[in-house]
Amino acid sequence: MALLIRQSDILLPDGDLLRGDLLVIDGKIAAIAPHIDLPQDQPCTVISGTGLILMPGVIDPQVHFREPGLEYKEDLMTASHACARGGVTSFLEMPNTRPLTTNQAALDDKLQRAASKCVVNYGFFIGASAQGNIPELQTATPACGIKVFMGSMHGDLLIDQATILEEIFAKVPRLVAVHAEDQARLNQRRQQFLPADGSPIDVAMHSQIQDNQAALLATELAVTLANKYQHRLHILHLSTKEEVAYLRLHKQPWITAEVTPQHLLLDTSAYARIGTKAQMNPPLRSPEDCAALWQGLHDGILDFIATDHAPHTLEEKAQPYPKSPSGMPGVETSLAAMLTAAAQGKCTLAQVSRWMSGNVARAYKIPNKGELRIGWDADLILVDYENYRPVLGTEVLSKCGWNSFEGESFTGWTQVTIVGGTVAYANGKVNPEVRGKALTFDA
Ligand code: DOR
């Protein structure tokens, strides 16, 4: 099967735009040129790209899609539809489902579920368990890496002992991705700030309780261990100016770090506007933190962008803090949010693509994805970078039905999403028959 995308502005790997045609054959990019003739030897679908940017699909390297066990919040089908709408053609999903993804059987179960219902490509983390699952961490496959919750998690996924963390670095030679918040400090500050009788307080206190110091302490520990063992470390959703400053001094080639659009674009003033919809872990920070995160991205201290898509129902979010759960959805708006920032001059279109596609593929060693190159996978998006449209809750495809950017106006909305050469989203509609593939990770 062939697909020809005519006369879009094609974002090339060097960041230049080429006005021209892109031909897909058998799911791979076959040609990129100012003009390509229709292939004569096979049927070919033609899509007009006039007025649109053609970019590599977004690879979102941190999402919580809730299946199995928490499907009342989201499931792999609804989440993958939301991905297609947002221009996300591949995702890496986290192990805090029920059961937890801490062994091969749970990983296989997720892969099977995804194969049967995901319209985009999928990969999964294996979770480090407080019970001890080093043999599973060593052998689970295919897994993009090991997820370690150093804080902000209850039960079996909480690794708040430095000795257990060190054992993982010492014994498992694979990428370790950490949620870096120091649980001892979180416990101490909860005790200090939360009323003993359980009565609610202002949700804005969330950023004070889970403060910058809690994030810094955990990042320092993870970086120290990674450097001791020269071990591949990835710091998830980094959020503070202190961590950026620390990484400037201590980051080594085996360390990468990511930031979310919400930590770049929202600050603690969001609590007054959207209440618990602004509550996430790690929390939103000050405008100075946002500025330091932007600078960190520009300087390559932060390598790429993830959404940490973590949907909860509106009913759950309507509970008063601290009963309200942390987390917000992200895959439907991340690209438009970042392209709007680019349109406002905060960065360039090419940088957004590098931060949301190319750098992610490189960091997780996902072959043949993240850039538009001949022979690479045709995971493509056509994006409208000319018109602004509001973020509307009524349009949300995520099961949660809300978005923290509602009311804002974004450009850079995805018009067409192509997964492995097949159109998965166009004209505002998902094609639910399309199936993504399991991602592979080079050694
Ligand atoms: O706010 C968050 N919610 N941060 C996380 O890292 C986990 C997530 C969730 O699963 O709800």
Q: How far is ligand 1, taken at its centre, from the CA of residue 49, in Å?
A: 37
Centre of ligand 1 from the C-alpha of residue 149, in Å: 10
How many angstroms does the Cα of residue 111 sit away from the middle of ligand 1? 21
The per-residue pLDDT for range 35-63, each reduced to its tens digit, is: 999 999 999 999 999 999 999 999 999 99
What is the helix (H) or strand (E) element at residue 424, kind and residue range? strand 422-426
Q: What is the b/e burial string over 287-298, where b = at least 16 CB atoms within 10 angstroms of the residue's CB? A: eebbebbbebbe
Average pLDDT over residues 257-272: 98
Confidence of residue 385 (pLDDT cuts 50, 70, 90): very high
Residue 1 pLDDT more than 90? Answer: no
Q: Which residues form the pocket of ligand 1, taking CB atoms under 6 Å from any ligand atom?
A: 64, 96, 152, 179, 280-281, 308, 310, 326-327
Tokens of 433: 């028959």
Query: Which pLDDT does position 192 carry in this prediction?
Result: 98
Asked if the model's pLDDT at residue 154 lies above 90, the reply is: no
pLDDT reading at 157 higher than 90:
yes
CA of 331 to the centre of ligand 1 (A): 14
Catalytic residue flag (residue 308): yes
Residue 422 CA, ligand 1 centroid: distance in Å: 32
pLDDT of 101 = 98
pLDDT at 39: 96
Atom of ligand 1 nearest to the CA of 312: 11
Ligand 1, pocket-test mutation among 74, 92, 96, most atoms within 8 A of CB: 96
Using DSSP's 3-state secondary structure scheme, residue 151 falls into coil
Instruction: Kindly tell me the number of DSSP H helices and DSSP E strands found in the chain.
Output: 15, 20
Q: Given the CA of residue 279, which atom of ligand 1 is nearest to it?
A: 1
Residue tagged 């018009």 (tokens): 415
Residue 308 Cα to ligand 1 midpoint, Å, equals: 7
Return the pLDDT at 276: 98
Residue whose Cα lies nearest atom 4 of ligand 1: it is 281
Phi-psi region of 359 (alpha: psi -120 to 50; beta: other; left: phi over 0): alpha
C-alpha span between 239 and 292 (Å, rounded): 9
In terms of DSSP H, where are the helices of 148-307?
162-171, 183-193, 205-209, 212-229, 241-250, 261-265, 270-274, 287-298
Distance of CA 204 from the midpoint of ligand 1 (Å): 17
Catalytic residue among 9, 21, 303, 308: 308
- Is the pLDDT score of 256 beyond 90? yes
Where does the pLDDT of residue 291 fall: very low under 50, low under 70, confident under 90, or very high at 90 and above? very high
pLDDT digits (tens, 9 = 90+) for 323-333: 999 999 999 99
Average pLDDT over residues 359-372: 98
Nearest ligand 1 atom, CA 237: 6
CA 263, 412, 115, 25 torsion: positive or negative? negative
Rg of the chain (C-alpha set)? 21
- Total-model pTM: 0.98
Q: Residue 255: phi, psi to the nearest 5? A: -115, 135
- 258: which 2 tokens? 């990511």
155 pLDDT exceeds 90?
no
Residue nearest to atom 6 of ligand 1 (CA): 281
Tell me, what's the pLDDT at 68?
A: 98
Report pLDDT for 150: 98
Q: Which of 293, 271, 153, 303 is nearest to 212 (CA)?
A: 293
Minimum-distance ligand 1 atom for the alpha carbon of 179: 6
**Of all protein residues, whose CA lies closest to atom 9 belonging to ligand 1?**
310
Residue (of 257, 318, 255, 265) closest to 287 by Cα position:
265
Residue minimizing CA distance to atom 3 of ligand 1: 327
Q: Closest ligand 1 atom to the C-alpha of 280? A: 1
Return the percentage of the chain with pLDDT > 70, whole number: 100
CA 292/CA 434 separation, integer angstroms? 40
* Span 150-173, average pLDDT: 95
**Look-up of token digits 């910058």:** 212
Mutation to probe ligand 1, out of 62, 63, 64 (largest number of atoms < 8 A from CB): 64
Mutate to test the pocket of ligand 1, among 63, 70, 152, 209 (most ligand atoms within 8 A of CB): 152
Of 60, 159, 238, 280, the one to substitute when testing ligand 1's pocket (max ligand atoms within 8 A of C-beta) is: 280
Residue 115: strand, helix, or coil: helix
The whole-number pLDDT of residue 153 equals 87
